[in-house]
A and B are shown apart, each in its own frame.
Chain A
Amino acid sequence: MTEETGIIKAVLEGDTESFRLLVQRYQKPVIRMIANLVNDRHICEDVAQDVFLAAYKKLPSFDPARSSFSTWLFVITRNKSINAIKKSRIPSTGNPPENPDFSEPVDTLIRNELFVKLDQALNSLNPEHRRALVLAEFENLSYEQIAQIEGVRIGTIKSRINRAKHRLRSALDGINGDFQ
Chain B
Amino acid sequence: MKDHKVYESWKQAKSQIDISQNFTGRVMNQVYQLEQSRKSRRLKMERLIELISFHPLAKTGLVMAGAVTGIVRLIIMIHTILSNGVING
Contact = CB atoms under 8 A, between A and B. Distances in A.
Contacts of B2: 175-177
Contact of B17 (A32, A53, A107, A179): A32
B7 A179 contact: yes
Given A16-B32, A177-B3, A23 B24 contact: yes
A95 to B, nearest CB: 11
Contacts of A57: 34
A175 B1 contact: yes
Contacts of A176: 2-3
A45 interface: yes
Contacts of A53: 27, 30-31, 34
Contacts of B71: none
Contacts of B17: 28, 31-32, 35
A111 to B, nearest CB: 6
A24 B35 contact: no
Interface string B4-30: 111111110111010110011011101
B52 to A, nearest CB: 27
Contact of A27 (B1, B5, B10, B23): B23
Interface residues of B, number: 27
A20 B22 CA distance: 12
Given A175-B6, A176-B2, 19 more contacts: A19-B28, A23-B28, A27-B23, A28-B17, A31-B19, A45-B20, A49-B26, A52-B30, A53-B34, A107-B1, A111-B9, A114-B1, A115-B13, A118-B6, A118-B7, A177-B2, A177-B4, A179-B4, A179-B7
Top 8 nearest A-B pairs (CB, nearest first) are: A177-B2, A179-B4, A179-B7, A177-B3, A32-B17, A52-B27, A114-B6, A172-B3
Interface of A: 16-17, 19-20, 23-24, 27-28, 31-32, 35-36, 45, 48-49, 52-53, 56-57, 107, 110-111, 114-115, 118, 137-138, 168-169, 172, 175-180
